[in-house]
Structure 1
């Protein structure tokens, strides 16, 4: 159980979350809102689960739900799992819920952080847009294959994930064996938490770590450089399973936004507060921004 800003966040593996008892013990507006969101989420996922059950075939799985259902029925491996290892509907729903939640909040918060820093550094926005204009142009939308020709935009994304990691402390893990790190003994069964904030702001590895500087991810020839201490998705066997998808999403979202739109502060407004607010993830505090279509993108045709 974890308490953050009056919100009770409960992670239950193997069963859906029922927070009605907590609402009676800790009645508050935030908890009621959380309950309403969970009801909507579970209704959506249950409907999708039933649709997948009705259309499941023996072919390749179409998505995660298909793969989980095949594991549940044994259709993907030729035999049924034993009862003590069976995958229940609750397992399927909670796995889908975790993937759904982890892939939305983190990506949207990272984009909000990057836009906040672009408002502090309009010269970075202009440089990204110049790169987009030269490498992609304005006749078509950006696609994944363009990524190799947009190293500066990629470096802006990396710097955004470095300077404001959405998970300053990564998800807790448990040591499976006796070990040691940095001269400290780690006993089997110990709870291990990785301080990503410290890793990404260590002055021994990053020059002026509190400065937003995308060029730190480029060499003298303007090519990508990824330092070994840059670990926004963790590392090793427990690295974030959504890393590839998250990187593609961040690239497509940010490139599409900056190709079509320009962002600036409203007249008289101060730059966004970069302190942040820690909840489920580290989010920027609310800020206002003026969004203007770039030349050639004012019409609706190119947005569709």
Structure 2
């Protein structure tokens, strides 16, 4: 047995009170997952295919969509398997791996959201210098830095958690291996593990949040100095989609990880986790496509190209 644990696996309880609806839940989460994959894949495709979208804003958006696909894939396939088979067992190694990748992609998402806010700040507040400040090399470095920071950040807290002894209950009151419910199962001294998770989460969330808020405060200040109302609306509309995503993601995660847990039930934590880990990645393509004229235009152009290719192919087939 690894790490002094008497059980070779954990049991993810998931949603025990809803077991009679597990097939309905399976279909619901499968639909959400497929929509998330298709929606974010479509954002990536049109951002790379349409030449007019080869600008920093959509470069970061395609990175963000790829990140959303990875983030939701950490938890949903495993959850779907549990609903379908009724088996909730997960090995200690797989649990630690799931925890690491959830932390990895979550951290990357925070850093990338702050990077996207910085990009909008430069575009709005320094439009003349923007092409020089945010060239292709700067975009690549910022995106790589976001992914690298997410990759490195979880090592220390996950290392502390992996060394905890688990000698009693192995039932995890969650639908995936999150840090808090796993730490609660340990029979050893969890102070350092709790403190490390809280400190790392606080540093990542608060620093990225402050950078994002600062960027938007400067953007609002600049927009307020634009003389015409139409000019103010047009300028701020380029930031509206990103600001909405930031509000949803930060709000749920801050509630989950940085607020006191004394008044929160396990069921409430699971509901909030479902929202930010599963539902939010599905909403992002909707938010960016419905509120972004460039994305809608590029999508219409792509669909027309596919339609024309199909009609040409059909015409050639009929001639043969």
Does the alignment reach a TM-score above 0.5?
no
**Per residue, is there more helix in 1 or in 2?**
2
Hey, which of these two has a bigger chunk of strand by percent?
A: 1
Give the structure-2-normalised TM-score.
0.30
